[in-house]
Structure formats: structure tokens, C-alpha cells
Structure 1
Amino acid sequence: MSAGQESSLRYLFAEAKSKSDALGSFTSASDSAYQENVLAAIESLEQCRKLARQISLFSPNEEFEDIASTDLPYLMIDYRLGDLILKENNQSRKGTLERAQEAFARFLRLLDTYRILSKTDSELFERYLENQNGFAVIRSNDPSTRRDSKIKRYKEEKSLKVKLDHLAQISTASEQDDSSIRDLYHAEAEISTYKAFESLDTIAQELKILALMPQSPPPGLGKSELDYRERNGLHKDGYSDRLDPSLSEMYRKGKAGPILNKDGKPLQPFTLLDSRQRLQNGVFGPDHSLPTMTIDEYLAEERRRGGIIDGGAENSVTAAQLDEDDVDKAEAETMKAREWDEFVEANPKGSGNTINRG
């Protein structure tokens, strides 16, 4: 690697790291300045990766000990790139996730090539390659097992952070100690490996959710037509999820086609109405019969028909007047009164109730 290339690579990587570290000063990820820093850092890292590939900075025939100490920071190019891509506010979320997934996979593949991955991480990476879209760090569905695994990984991450901070202090105190510098970058690669697997797990879950979401409308479908279909629940085949028919279907009573043929002969039953407004009022009216007159109007109508007699009980009952000239009728009334008096004398009040007497 020439001095110019080394200078360019060092400058691009330092610029990307500076912009990436500056993201912590922003309060919102949707801020335009935040996104500008993200895009600028991504562009610098893309150029770093391109330049490192051109000069064959890393070779599959080497091991970690064969890498120069000054080149060790560039092992993190793809990890930093994947982490920044996830922060990018892009309309195509699926494309963003897939780009980040590829960057993390390249990072892990590079570490696996140099045998930097532990045995456990190497097996985990093989499992990822076998099923990228269904990858999960913890495969068990048992709650207790998942809880124990999460606690174990949390302790491992915490231990790696403590180790990294300790090595960073040693490296700062003895900048000329090459062994301390190499240990520091090796520890950084270990904790980045842990975070890369966690990110791949999250990406796989989010891609599953996106796969279940409805697809975007085809490019040829206009917005007005799309709004109409969404508003009415229509699909391409004309099927509708709506339970209530449209107004035009109500006019036709659900029957499509013309009412009359060319000769004027009815093709289906129909009802003539005085206006479309009357039909519309009937459609959106109540489904029960409403009163057609008030109570006062009803009483007045009943009085007119003779159903109500005014004047009370005295006028409603007229005593029968006997005709003095009708002797037979008067005699019959007299006999009826005598028979009733005799019945009352023979049957005093209460004489018939003999069951409940004490």
C-alpha cells in the first residue's frame, strides 16, 4: 500500500468515525443535520471499503497475527457501516435492513477468516448462513431458557466492555506498546461481534414483520383510483368487503343491468317514484314505522267516528222508562222482582261458603 493510499484510507476512516461519534449530540434521529451526518459517514465508509478492496488490505491466506497493527482499525469498516445504515431514514425500510444485513455478514465473515471469532460465535455464524431470514440468537421458545440465555449474554457483554475499557486505558498510558494496541483492537472486534449478532437477530424479526404487511400499490394505479378502491373496499376482481351496497345498487335493488329493453318492455320489477330524493330519504330513514298523527288528532278523529261519548257516566246510561199502558210487561217486571226477593230470603249472604267455617 502506497503512502498516498494509506493517507486516504486513514483520512476517510477518521472522517467517518468523527461524524459517527457526533451523532450522540443530536436529540432526534429525524433531524435533518443528523441524517446528513449519517449519509456523510456512510459515504466515507463506502469509499474506505472500496479502497481496502482495491489494495487487497485483507487476505484470506493470513491470520490475525499477520495484520499490521496500523491496519487493525479497518477490520471494523463493515460493522460501522451496518450500524450507520440502520440509522438511515430511508423510504424503503426493507432495502435498508437488507443492506445492513449484508454489511454485518461481511464483517463476521472477515473475522471468521482471520479466526478472530470464538468457537461459539463461529458456530452461531454458521447457523446464520444456513437460515439468514429465520436467524435468532436464542432459538428456544421456553421463557425460562430464553431468560437464562439473555442473562448469560448480558454478563458476557458487560465483561467485554470492562475488558475494552481497561485495555483502552493501558493503550493510552503506553502508546508505544504494540501488544496493548493489538489486544485493544481484538477486544473491540469481540464486542462488535456480539452486537452484530444482536443486530442480525433484530433485522430478521423486522423483515418477517415487513413480509406480512400489505404490498405497495402498483405504479400504474392512479391515486384517485386507489383512493376509490380503498374507500369502497374493492379489489381488482371487483370483490368488495363492504356489507352495505352502494347507492346505485340500492336504486337497482341489487340488480345490475337496464330496467327497460330497446322496445320499452320492463326487464325487471321497478317502482316509480316522484323524485330521486324521495328514494334516498327512504333508504337512509328508520326501519320502523313512525307516528302519522298526534294524540289530539287521533282523539278528534275517534270522536268524529263516534268512538268517544261525551258527558260522562250519567249521560252514557239512560234508565229504562216503563210504559204504564203495557200491562203484560209491567206484570212481568213485578214477578221478576218478587222472585228475586224470595231468592234473597232463602239464601242469606254467606250461606254458600261452608268450607272455611270454623
Structure 2
Amino acid sequence: MSTNLPLPQFYAQTLSSLQPIFDDTLSTSDPKAQGILSSALDNLYLIQRMVNSLGVFSENENVDEVGEKELVFMSLGWVIGATEEKGGLGGRDDRMSSLQRAETAYSSYLELLTSYSVLSPEDKAESSASTNGGPSIPKDPAKKREAKIAQYRKEKDLRQYISNSLPSHPDTSSSPITFLLDLLPSTSTRPSVVSTSTGSTSVNPDDAPEITKSTIVLILRLLYTSTLSSLSSISMELDLLSNAPASISQIAEQDPRHVRREEEDATWRLDRQPGTYKPRELISGNGKVLRPFTILPSTQAMSDRERLKGDVFKQSWRLPTMTIDEYLEEEQRRGNIITGGGQASYDAPTATELMELEAENDGTIVAEENYEKKRLKDENWAMFTDENKKGAGNTMNKG
């Protein structure tokens, strides 16, 4: 790539392209965002090679011996790490490679700050704990919460100091990219091409903001606190990804016999695989059931653990099924379905009312028989009431 821009302006142009992503105005899942990240990484690695070829930083120097314009480029390792951390959405291996590159960039950034004595004694102790395998955040929940609160307060104070020191006074909640852009020349008026042959990291005084070295050091320390959190998150994510199951294509490449076993299993198993039948093949347009089926819980409501458990610990034979009509017939045969009752039973005529209706049909044998039945019933009831006075059986209340 050939350009005619000075190195600081090239760096500022690359950071400007990343600002919408780091400010969360553009989602990383957007294909446009992934294209921006890929292009920005190419530019960032090019800037890194240019800085190394120019010998901007040396192992035998101190932070006081570096100029303000060169000190800005110490943030390059953090920017590369943060950009790599937001990419790698093409699968498990792609994500792991991206996280590993981010981890390498973050580690080089910490080493650079340590070698130039940018960190305070407290920062050095925290950095050595995280880089030497010791946990930067304790495992005890109470101490872990206290450590996070202390880190949040530290980051908040740094952001406030930085915001007060910068000419544009950016918001304290702004992303670190915004703070870095305030250290670099404006990108509003610049040519579209840059040259790798530009051998100076100095900035045009008319275009460069006046920033003190202490402000730049504060920004580098802010990036340091962010680096420790990112390294902790990357370590946990890499551990999860390393234990995650590989995709089918990767399993086939490693062990083709696994695919053959899956195909054989699908041939001898009697129960249908998910997705074999479509809803229109199970139920007709008028709601009639066309074939037996089993109603299962929604897979969206099931956790991955429950779904995997159901796939592993399942019966090796086909379970008996029946239609809804067959199920209702079987339940009715067993006497588990109650019929009658309700409003229709309440509105139906009683036996006495039916006899009265039948007795009204004069001149028929059925009417005479029902009339005689009703007469006998009324006579028996009259004899019962004569022999059993009202309240005769009420011996408890005497009422």
C-alpha cells in the first residue's frame, strides 16, 4: 500500500473508521462493520511495521525521553487487540484465532508500558499478577465485587482527568478511540492516499492539538485498565471455545467414520428425525389428523443442556403413538370421561314431568299406564306424609 499521508494522520484516519464500532453506533454483527474491522486491521498492522522500521521505541529508553507525538503510538498495541477482539465471527476456529491475536497484541502493549515505566507501582503489581498466571480479580464473590468496584472508580477518575485535560472536553463515557483521536491531527481535510515512505512521526504544528505528556500517559493508563479486563474475558472465552463441540464439517475431516455412523443410525432408528414431517402433512386443512404424532416442548424454550441431554439419553426404539381421536376413545372406554351434566341436563324434564306429559294423551294405552303410575306415586307420597309428620325425625335441634 502506498500513501502520501504522514504517519500520525494515517493513524488518525484508521481510528476514525473504527470510531462508530467502538461507540456502539454500528453493531459488530453488521457485515459492514466486519468489513471496516478487516480493512482497519490491515492499516493497523501496516502502521505497526512502519513504527518498528522507524525505530520509534527502544528498549533502553524511558517515558521522559519520548516526545508527545511519538508517545501516542504506544496505544497501537491496544488498538490492534481491541479491534481483533471485536472480529472473528466466522465460526469457532476463526473466533479463537482472532482472540489469540488480540491476546498477543494486549500482552505486547503491557510489555511496552512496563519497559517505559509508564505504569504506577500499583499498576505494575496488578500487571504482574495478571501476566504471571495470577488472577487479577479474586475468585471470592465478595472480594471480586470489591475489586470490580475499585477498578470502576479508578477508570472513572482517569476518564474525568483526561476529559478535563483535552481541548475538546469529550464526554467521560466516550470510548478510548475518541480520546486517542484528540491526540492526533484532524481527519476532516486530508488526502485519500498515504505513503509508507513517509519517514517521520511528527505532526504539522498547525494541525496538531497541544496536548501535554501527562495527559497522554493518563490515556495510556486508561487503556491499561481496559487491557486487564479484556485479557480476563479473552481467557474465559478461549477456555469455553476450546471445550465447545466442533462443527460437523470439522468432525468429518478429523474422523469420516463419525459421519457414516450417523448415517447408519438414521437408517435403523424407527423414530423420525426432527423436521421430517411438515405441519401440512400432519393435519389437513379442516383440522383432521392425518398421521400419529407426539407433542414435544418447544426447542426454543429448552436450554442447550436440556436439548443435548434429550439427544443423548433417549430411547433406542420407536415410542408408541396414537391419534387424538384414538386417545379420546380409549379414555372413554376406561371411564375417564364424564358425559352428561351441565345446562342441558338441568333443562331436561324429570321423570314426573315426563309421566304428566304422557298422561295428557287421552285414549291411548300408554297414557292410561302413565296416568296409573302417576296416581300410585301420588298416593304413596300422601300415605308417607300422613305417617311421617314434618319435623318428626329432627330429634337434635327440637325445632
Scaled by the length of structure 2, the TM-score of the pair is 0.52
- Relative to 1, partners in 2 of residues 1:26 and 1:225: Cα closer, same or farther, differing over 3 Å? farther
User: Could you tell me how far 1:180 is from its partner in structure 2?
Assistant: 4.5
**Among residues 196, 201, 212, which one is paired with 1:181 in the alignment?**
212
1:268-327 deviation line (CA, Å, top 9, x unaligned): xxxxxxxxxxxxxxx9589xxxx9xx9xxxxxxxxxxxxxxxxxxxxxxxxxxxxxxxxx
- Relative to 1, partners in 2 of residues 1:149 and 1:8: Cα closer, same or farther, differing over 3 Å? same
Aligned residue number for residue 28 of structure 1? 27
- Relative to 1, partners in 2 of residues 1:245 and 1:99: Cα closer, same or farther, differing over 3 Å? same
Q: For residues 153 and 32 of structure 1, what CA distance do their matches in structure 2 show?
A: 34
Aligned residue number for residue 196 of structure 1? 227
Q: For residues 142 and 262 of structure 2, what CA distance do their matches in structure 1 show?
A: 48
**Among residues 134, 143, 146, which one is paired with 1:145 in the alignment?**
143
Q: For residues 140 and 64 of structure 1, what CA distance do their matches in structure 2 show?
A: 35
- Relative to 1, partners in 2 of residues 1:77 and 1:90: Cα closer, same or farther, differing over 3 Å? farther
Report which structure shows greater RCO (CA 8 Å, sep ≥6): 2
**Among residues 212, 219, 233, which one is paired with 2:253 in the alignment?**
219
Q: Which runs of structure 2 are paired with 1:4-153 in the superposition (5 Å)?
A: 7-23=5-21, 24=23, 26-88=25-87, 89-91=89-91, 92-131=94-133, 136-141=135-140, 143-153=141-151
User: Could you tell me how far 1:26 is from its partner in structure 2?
Assistant: 4.0
Matching residue's letter, 1:188: I
Please say if residues 20 and 26 of structure 2, whose CA atoms lie closer than 8 Å, have aligned partners that are also in contact: no
Aligned length: 240
- Relative to 1, partners in 2 of residues 1:169 and 1:14: Cα closer, same or farther, differing over 3 Å? closer
User: Could you tell me how far 1:231 is from its partner in structure 2?
Assistant: 6.0
- Structure number, greater radius of gyration: 1
Please say if residues 69 and 178 of structure 1, whose CA atoms lie closer than 8 Å, have aligned partners that are also in contact: no
- Relative to 1, partners in 2 of residues 1:151 and 1:241: Cα closer, same or farther, differing over 3 Å? closer
Q: For residues 148 and 254 of structure 2, what CA distance do their matches in structure 1 show?
A: 48
- Relative to 1, partners in 2 of residues 1:179 and 1:55: Cα closer, same or farther, differing over 3 Å? same
Q: Which runs of structure 2 are paired with 1:264-279 in the superposition (5 Å)?
A: none
Aligned residue number for residue 343 of structure 1? none
Q: For residues 231 and 138 of structure 1, what CA distance do their matches in structure 2 show?
A: 48
User: Could you tell me how far 1:71 is from its partner in structure 2?
Assistant: 0.8
Q: Which runs of structure 2 are paired with 1:309-324 in the superposition (5 Å)?
A: none
Please say if residues 18 and 37 of structure 2, whose CA atoms lie closer than 8 Å, have aligned partners that are also in contact: yes
Q: For residues 259 and 35 of structure 2, what CA distance do their matches in structure 1 show?
A: 35
User: Could you tell me how far 1:136 is from its partner in structure 2?
Assistant: 3.3
**Among residues 263, 276, 279, which one is paired with 1:228 in the alignment?**
263
1:113-153 deviation line (CA, Å, top 9, x unaligned): 0000111221222223322xxx5321241x22222222111
Please say if residues 20 and 37 of structure 1, whose CA atoms lie closer than 8 Å, have aligned partners that are also in contact: yes
User: Could you tell me how far 1:227 is from its partner in structure 2?
Assistant: 4.7
- Relative to 1, partners in 2 of residues 1:140 and 1:7: Cα closer, same or farther, differing over 3 Å? same
User: Could you tell me how far 1:45 is from its partner in structure 2?
Assistant: 0.6
Matching residue's letter, 1:78: G
Please say if residues 15 and 44 of structure 1, whose CA atoms lie closer than 8 Å, have aligned partners that are also in contact: no
Aligned residue number for residue 306 of structure 1? none
Please say if residues 41 and 83 of structure 2, whose CA atoms lie closer than 8 Å, have aligned partners that are also in contact: yes
Q: For residues 260 and 10 of structure 2, what CA distance do their matches in structure 1 show?
A: 49
- Relative to 1, partners in 2 of residues 1:219 and 1:165: Cα closer, same or farther, differing over 3 Å? same
Please say if residues 90 and 96 of structure 1, whose CA atoms lie closer than 8 Å, have aligned partners that are also in contact: no
Please say if residues 96 and 238 of structure 2, whose CA atoms lie closer than 8 Å, have aligned partners that are also in contact: yes
Q: For residues 84 and 110 of structure 1, what CA distance do their matches in structure 2 show?
A: 19
Q: For residues 116 and 60 of structure 1, what CA distance do their matches in structure 2 show?
A: 13
- Relative to 1, partners in 2 of residues 1:215 and 1:204: Cα closer, same or farther, differing over 3 Å? same
1:90-111 deviation line (CA, Å, top 9, x unaligned): 4222111111111111111000
Please say if residues 15 and 41 of structure 1, whose CA atoms lie closer than 8 Å, have aligned partners that are also in contact: no
Q: Secondary structure at the match of 1:169?
A: coil
Please say if residues 75 and 109 of structure 2, whose CA atoms lie closer than 8 Å, have aligned partners that are also in contact: yes
Q: For residues 62 and 73 of structure 2, what CA distance do their matches in structure 1 show?
A: 15
User: Could you tell me how far 1:68 is from its partner in structure 2?
Assistant: 1.6
Q: Secondary structure at the match of 2:138?
A: coil
Q: Secondary structure at the match of 1:36?
A: helix
- Relative to 1, partners in 2 of residues 1:231 and 1:95: Cα closer, same or farther, differing over 3 Å? farther
Please say if residues 12 and 45 of structure 1, whose CA atoms lie closer than 8 Å, have aligned partners that are also in contact: no
Matching residue's letter, 2:51: A
Matching residue's letter, 1:53: N
Q: For residues 232 and 135 of structure 2, what CA distance do their matches in structure 1 show?
A: 5
Matching residue's letter, 2:103: Q
Q: Which runs of 5+ in 2 are unaligned?
A: 170-181, 183-204, 270-310, 323-329, 334-399
User: Could you tell me how far 1:70 is from its partner in structure 2?
Assistant: 1.3
Query: RMSD over aligned Cα, in angstroms?
Result: 3.7
Matching residue's letter, 1:85: E
User: Could you tell me how far 1:198 is from its partner in structure 2?
Assistant: 0.6
User: Could you tell me how far 1:242 is from its partner in structure 2?
Assistant: 6.0
- Relative to 1, partners in 2 of residues 1:167 and 1:227: Cα closer, same or farther, differing over 3 Å? farther
- Relative to 1, partners in 2 of residues 1:32 and 1:226: Cα closer, same or farther, differing over 3 Å? farther
User: Could you tell me how far 1:64 is from its partner in structure 2?
Assistant: 0.5
Please say if residues 170 and 180 of structure 1, whose CA atoms lie closer than 8 Å, have aligned partners that are also in contact: no
User: Could you tell me how far 1:210 is from its partner in structure 2?
Assistant: 1.9
1:16-39 deviation line (CA, Å, top 9, x unaligned): 111111324744321111111111
Please say if residues 138 and 147 of structure 2, whose CA atoms lie closer than 8 Å, have aligned partners that are also in contact: no
Q: Secondary structure at the match of 1:117?
A: coil
